[in-house]
Amino acid sequence: MANISELTRKEQVLKALMEQAGEWVDGNLLATEKVGGSEGHRRLRELRTEGHDIRERRHPDPDRDIWQYMLVEPKPEGIRHDFVDAYGHTVEGSILTPLLSPGYSRGRCPTCRKTRLFQRLKEPVYVDTVGL
Ligand SMILES: [Zn+2]
């Protein structure tokens, strides 16, 4: 298969994965004439070696005997777990004292100004540090 694209074969694979970052991509789509070429799977290994976080799994449908790949984009810097009290006030975990139970902390709530029990939010907060 001749590469008729301006991108290298490796760049094609990376681009295809980036366009669906965080989602599983069927492996056979990464080894086509347009993307990756016949050596598409070797390009995947090269991208990994360069530090790209590419996960792989068997297709969840057992009738489809293929692998799937997913690019995990690096987390932004300044990831942070916020906590919430029973009144829905959120605070940064750094001002609280962790308790023995995982995910729970105690501290003074800046909003209601009382010592409260806080529970860690399930989803981390991504703090944009650009420009700080
Ligand atoms: Zn509060």
Are 28 and 64 found together in one domain? yes
How many angstroms separate the alpha carbon of residue 94 from the centre of ligand 1? 16
How many angstroms separate the alpha carbon of residue 83 from the centre of ligand 1? 10
* Helix/strand/coil for 9: helix
Are 92 and 60 found together in one domain? no
Are 83 and 117 found together in one domain? yes
Domain hosting 34: range is 9-71
The segments of the chain whose pLDDT lies below 70 read 1, 74-79, 124-132
Q: Where are the beta strands (DSSP E) in the chain?
A: 25-26, 54-58, 67-71, 79-80, 82-84, 90-92, 97-98, 104-108, 115-120, 125-126
Tens-digit pLDDT profile for residues 14-47? 999 988 888 899 999 999 988 888 888 899 999 9
Are 16 and 66 found together in one domain? yes
Are 60 and 83 found together in one domain? no
How many angstroms separate the alpha carbon of residue 118 from the centre of ligand 1? 9
Are 87 and 57 found together in one domain? no
- Give the pLDDT of residue 68: 94
Percentage of the chain lying above the pLDDT 70 cut: 88
How many angstroms separate the alpha carbon of residue 64 from the centre of ligand 1? 51
State how far the Cα of 114 lies from the Cα of 47, in Å rounded to an integer: 51
Residue 38 lies in a domain: yes
Residue 53 belongs to domain with CATH number? 1.10.10
Which has the closest alpha carbon to 87: 65, 59, 72, 109? Answer: 109
| Dihedral over Cα of 23, 26, 27, 29: its sign | negative
**Which residues are found with C-beta within 5 Å of the ion, ligand 1?**
85, 87, 89, 109, 111-112
How many angstroms separate the alpha carbon of residue 93 from the centre of ligand 1? 13
Domain count, the chain: 2
How many angstroms separate the alpha carbon of residue 77 from the centre of ligand 1? 27
pTM to 2 decimal places: 0.55
Residue 2 lies in a domain: no
Alpha carbon distance, N-terminus to C-terminus of the chain:
48
How many angstroms separate the alpha carbon of residue 109 from the centre of ligand 1? 5
- Give me the residues paired with residue 90 across strands: 84
How many angstroms separate the alpha carbon of residue 76 from the centre of ligand 1? 28
Are 54 and 101 found together in one domain? no
Structure tokens at 36: 């990756």
Are 92 and 56 found together in one domain? no
Residue 131 lies in a domain: no
